[in-house]
Amino acid sequence: MSLTFIQINLKKIMGILGLLPLLALTSMNIQAAGNKQHFLGAFVGILDNGETDSVLGIEYEYKFNSKWGVGALYEKASDAHHGDGISSKIAALYYHPVGNWRLGAGFGEEKIGGAHPHTEDLTRLGVSYDFHFGDMGIAPSLNFDRINGHTSKVYGVAFIWAF
């Protein structure tokens, strides 16, 4: 199976998953995660910066109250940057304005591998919608990363466990 085949199918899956918020708003009875404060997630998505690459990651959020939380993310796009690979570490502040919407702003670093590895500063702005089913959830998201004067999109879905 070629990488192009996997990326094309991952794009289709992400498009379908992007419809979940509409489906939930119109036909599902979604339950909030109650008074849980810890949210751990596994992320799968797409990095779109002129090239399109698959991204895998892990994320964590600690919610102080129903409106505010802080968190950390680690993401890896092994084939990005012409095959050199990219890993990102981000600290984030989250605001939950209404319902299950989450707005995020973060700062971190992006490490580029290859023959000439280097690290660059990264800022991130993002939005997601959390669907919780008891202590489990799914969160489609769209993020904009600003690195060295360039903006990249990272979109995908996180599978979440609240505790």
At 100 the pLDDT is 94
Q: How many CA atoms lie within 13 A of 109 on its CB side?
A: 7
Query: Is domain 3-162 given the CATH code 2.40.160.20 in the classification?
Result: yes
Q: What is the pTM of this model?
A: 0.79
CA 93: distance to chain centroid? 14
DSSP secondary structure letters along 9-31: HHHHHHHHHHTHHHHHHHH--PP
At 103 the pLDDT is 98
User: Using the 8-state DSSP alphabet, how is residue 98 labeled?
Assistant: S
At 22 the pLDDT is 47
Cβ neighbour number for residue 94 with a 10 Å cutoff: 21
Q: What is the mean pLDDT of each run of 10 residues along the chain (163 residues)?
A: 54 57 43 78 96 96 96 96 94 97 98 94 98 96 97 98 96
Element (H, E) at 136: strand 136-147
Here the tokens at position 7 are 């990326």
At 34 the pLDDT is 67
Q: Are 157 and 139 in contact (CB under 8 A)?
A: yes
At 15 the pLDDT is 58
